[in-house]
Amino acid sequence: METKKVFLSQREIPRRWYNIAADMPNPVQPPLHPGTGQPIGPDDLAAIFPMNLIAQEVSTDRWIDIPEEVLEKLLIWRPTPLTRAYQLEKYLGTPAKIYFKDESVSPAGSHKPNTALAQAYYNKVFGVKRITTETGAGQWGSSLALACHLFGLELKVYMVRISFEQKPYRKSLMRTWGAECVPSPSPDTSFGRKILAENPDTPGSLGIAISEAIEDTLTSKDTRYSLGSVLNHVMLHQTIIGLEALKQFELVGDYPDIVIGCVGGGSNFSGLSFPFVRDKIYGKELRIIAVEPAACPTLTKGSFLYDFGDTAETTPLLPMHTLGHSFIPRPFHAGGLRYHGMAPLVCQLFLDNLIEAQTYNQLQTYEAGIAFARSEGIVPAPETSHAIAAVIYEALKCKEEGVSRTILFNLSGHGLLDLSGYESFLDGKLTDYEMPEEEVREALKKLEGYPKPRR
Amino acid sequence: METKKVFLSQREIPRRWYNIAADMPNPVQPPLHPGTGQPIGPDDLAAIFPMNLIAQEVSTDRWIDIPEEVLEKLLIWRPTPLTRAYQLEKYLGTPAKIYFKDESVSPAGSHKPNTALAQAYYNKVFGVKRITTETGAGQWGSSLALACHLFGLELKVYMVRISFEQKPYRKSLMRTWGAECVPSPSPDTSFGRKILAENPDTPGSLGIAISEAIEDTLTSKDTRYSLGSVLNHVMLHQTIIGLEALKQFELVGDYPDIVIGCVGGGSNFSGLSFPFVRDKIYGKELRIIAVEPAACPTLTKGSFLYDFGDTAETTPLLPMHTLGHSFIPRPFHAGGLRYHGMAPLVCQLFLDNLIEAQTYNQLQTYEAGIAFARSEGIVPAPETSHAIAAVIYEALKCKEEGVSRTILFNLSGHGLLDLSGYESFLDGKLTDYEMPEEEVREALKKLEGYPKPRR
């Protein structure tokens, strides 16, 4: 009987987050003010975020202590296991050793609570009483609902209306954890009312929901806004994943040749990989692969430009690979990967050849998800299945070449609240959609005139 | 920072199941043949179950080795953590120490795969190629789907039609794990066709589904039937829960004063408690509490009689506390607790005063579930919330009396696929229903003339 899982005791939980800004060969460029075109300072963000999180956003300290109060609540599910996927290896007949970091064991079912807890805490100590946010499929909204309740903060979630209606369980989860969740556009903001007046039947969009959440923040007392991906401090809070994985690999006496994660805004990928990117910067040889959907190929086909983070043009301009803030990806089931941009930190590392990118089509990812569920038991989230598709590709390459490599990926979430996608796949109702070159060109044309960051 | 979870390494997983038959002061009475009224022998069951499981059903060996092939697959999620519920203690302001064994971390989200894996394995080595079963809410069917796929067996699940329609996610989960799932009554059996002809719009029932699954088994090649609770071998396979808990308590240097689990057929309760019942038999002082719904109060209000295990009268007569096999409990959300009978092993221990029973009403259990979700993060299954209601009652009693007791309960499953119940509760749409005395008397009247087991 071979041991499959490596547990860390709770005493071994990392006490500090790792800030990759301290080690990057080229720093990330600062965000710009859309009006002046000048780099924004901390004060420009103070109406939206608490100052302690803004300080983290711009920090270049290598290690940042995790507050005791946050650690205590991370212990609800952390450290997460590092698991060897023996059954998947056997199914593939590969000489590769496949490991995954299991972030699906959190109460919300994904890695998102890692930053939700930290953000709720910093808002709390800054004196904020109430938080607003947007959510698409609901993973982020539910994670923040849990975190806000644990720290005694109110939360209002603007949930894209089509998801609000199609994914009632995520909404129920937010309510169970004590948050208010409304479909967006809502009659609760002037922007929402405007949209509703123009188009009462609109399905909503992430862009609209962000605008409503920010308007709510700017017009309410003791309220701040919270974002679940893209920003530097979010990536920072997620590095606990990779720091645990490093300790766990030490315990089994192994080290990955390939590290893999799916990317939407970039947070689960960054969380697992940044501590390994650091090793690479200092000379370790390994490959680090960000996996994106063929229907939203930000890193592989987007331009590196200053672009807005949201559709409604309310955020600062961020230096990132983007398909344009007005680009709306075709509907596919991995809702968490339907983002036009990418975390600036991930983009800079991509430019510096420290990480690479791959794309997979929807059907490939569902085949991978089913293969994983039927060998390893856990049903992966559709987002996570993108990472698994890449794992299978690399493991089969090992088989072809007759080489054993150690592959690590982030099981960023389970799919128990996404089973309708599996049902459609099993019924043969899902299709592929690869964004064609002319559509990419057209999307990028809208970005002409946007400032180019220094490389 | 206090450690919250006790993990065992996978090398510490128990290698043997504990069979309480070896230590009971009074043995459980044998099942009777409904035709002859005589005790049935192993051969009477051979058409339905494989002989190796029948041997376990009647074994009095204290320890039974867990086969390596089963252990290997249990390692997909075991050992499960023992978790200290600090935040719940704090919320209640109780001096009690509350621990829970977290069975929600299995891929199916409950304790059910513990026996599903073992049953699939024993069927496999006996040469069975295909299994049939019934499922109500879907927890059992999905767990067996996973187990059958891992051991290369076909599975057909007859799912109560109303649940099939109302809980599409459970059905999707079974399909994702490769099982066939049909709504019952189905046109696939003669019993199903008969019911459909009489009443095309019937919502179905567990009794009908069992009858279809057994008919399928009896009329198909290389096929056997599998049951997820009630029988002795099922309780046996679940004892790994309590055996792990004993090791974990040793590690923290504590021992429970009270052990609590909810009971429907009895399997999660038995799995956690039997190793502690053994200690009690040999002189340890502790209380062991089985918790049932007020709408289906089998232990607290039923008669101890020989009764059928199913509505269609196809099983042997089992010695158990029962509300009568034709009793259909009012609909409530804890579908796993809507069973008219109880595991004979649990009943015998109850008669011998080794365990006690408590009932809670639906609203109390949802209040408890919400309190738990908002303090400890994990959203419990509605069944599990019955155990939590008892935990809260006992913890508040500790507070009143100013005494610290150590309470252990089984977090038998999470509620991520049961969120519609939470939604109804939060909307104020749930009601209580306590089975009135006259209804109990009427249900029990139907059992007149059924044989009485020796006490």
Rounded to an integer, what distance in angstroms lies between the CA atom of residue A315 and that of residue A211? Answer: 9
User: Is the pLDDT assigned to residue B56 strictly greater than 80?
Assistant: yes
A269-325, pLDDT tens digit by residue? 999 999 999 999 999 999 999 999 999 999 999 999 999 988 778 889 999 999 998
User: Is B416 part of the contact surface with chain A (CB cutoff 8 Å)?
Assistant: yes
Cβ(B441)–Cβ(B303) below 8 Å = no
Residue A434 has pLDDT above 70, yes or no: yes
CA A425 – CA A422 distance, rounded (Å) = 5
CB distance B1–A173 less than 8 Å?
Answer: no
| pLDDT digit string, tens, across residues B243-275 | 999 999 999 999 999 999 999 999 999 999 999
Render pLDDT for B331-357 as a digit per residue (tens, 0 to 9). Answer: 778 888 888 999 999 999 999 999 999
H helices present in B179-239, as ranges:
190-198, 206-219, 232-238
CATH number at residue A399: 3.40.50.1100
Partner residue opposite A176 with nearest CB, options B76, B169, B370 = B370
Report the interhelical angle of B168-176 vs A419-426 (nearest 10°).
60
A177 shares contact with chain B (CB less than 8 Å): yes
Its domain, for residue A322, covers 5-10+67-109+233-447
Neighbours of A26 (CB within 10 A): 11
Each residue of B125-136: pLDDT tens digit?
A: 999 999 999 998
Shortest CA distance from B91: residue in chain A: A150
> What is the C-alpha end-to-end distance of chain A, expressed in Å?
51
User: Residue A455: its pLDDT value, please?
Assistant: 64
Residue A423 within a domain: yes
Instruction: Tell me whether residue A218 is in a domain.
Output: no
* pLDDT at res. B225: 97
Q: What is the pLDDT of residue A207?
A: 80
Q: Is the pLDDT of residue B95 over 90?
A: yes
To the nearest 10°, report the CA torsion of B320, B325, B329, B334: 60
Q: What is the DSSP track for A157-213?
A: EEEEHHHHHH-HHHHHHHHHTT-EEEEES-TTSHHHHHHHHH-TT----HHHHHHHH
Q: Test B11 with A3 for CB contact under 8 angstroms.
A: yes
Mean pLDDT of the A427-431 span: 94
B329 within a domain of the structure (yes/no): yes
Residue A214 and residue A120 in contact, taking contact as beta carbons nearer than 8 Å: no
Asked if the model's pLDDT at residue A332 lies above 80, the reply is no
**Structural domain contains residue B321:** yes
Q: Do B68 and A1 touch (CB under 8 A)?
A: yes
Cβ of B127: how many Cβ atoms within 10 Å?
Answer: 9
Mean pLDDT (chain B, rounded): 95
Query: Which of A121, A126, A207, A220 lies closest to A180 in space, CA to CA?
Result: A220
Q: For residue A149, what is the nearest residue in chain B, using CA coordinates? A: B374
Rounded CA-CA distance A375/A387 in Å is 16
CA distances from residue A288 to A22, A256, A282, A402 in whole angstroms, order as listed: 19, 10, 14, 21
Q: Are A241 and A273 in contact (CB under 8 A)?
A: no
The answer to the question of residue A87 being in a domain is yes
Is B76 inside any structural domain?
yes
ipTM of the complex: 0.94
pLDDT at B218: 94
- How far apart are alpha carbons B136 and B310 in whole angstroms? 13
- Structurally, chain B folds into a number of domains equal to 1
Rounded to whole angstroms, how far apart are CA atoms A101 and B106?
A: 16
pLDDT of residue A101: 98
Average pLDDT value for residue range A220-247: 97
The identity of residue B123, as a single letter, is: N
pTM (2 d.p.): 0.96
**In Å, how far is B378's CA from the nearest CA of chain A?**
5
Identify which of B77, B176, B419 has the shortest CB distance to residue A169.
Answer: B419
Query: Does A251 contact chain B (CB < 8 Å)?
Result: no
pLDDT at position B455 over 70:
no
Residue B421 maps to a domain? yes
- Scanning A365-384 for CB atoms below 8 A from B yields 370, 373-374, 376-379
- Residue A42 tokens read as 């901390």
Question: Lowest-confidence range among B175-179, B318-322, B449-453?
Answer: B449-453
Q: How many CB atoms lie within 10 A of CB A434?
A: 15
Please judge whether B173 and A379 are an interchain contact, meaning their C-beta atoms are less than 8 angstroms apart.
Answer: yes
| Closest partner CB to B105 (pick from A11, A105, A175) | A105
pLDDT higher than threshold 80 for residue A330: no
First to last CA, chain B: 51
User: CB within 8 A of A112, min separation 6: which ones?
Assistant: A106, A139, A140, A142, A143, A144, A228, A267, A413
Q: State the pLDDT at residue B123.
A: 98
Closest residue on chain A to B423 (Cα): A172
| B62 is a domain residue | no
Collect all residues of chain B within an 8 Å Cβ-Cβ radius of residue A379.
107, 173, 176
pLDDT tens readout for residues A24-79:
999 999 999 988 999 998 888 999 999 999 999 999 999 999 999 999 999 999 99
pLDDT at A163 over 70: yes
Chain A residues whose beta carbon lies within 8 Å of the beta carbon of residue B68:
1
> Which residue, chain included where needed, has tokens 């504590």?
B254
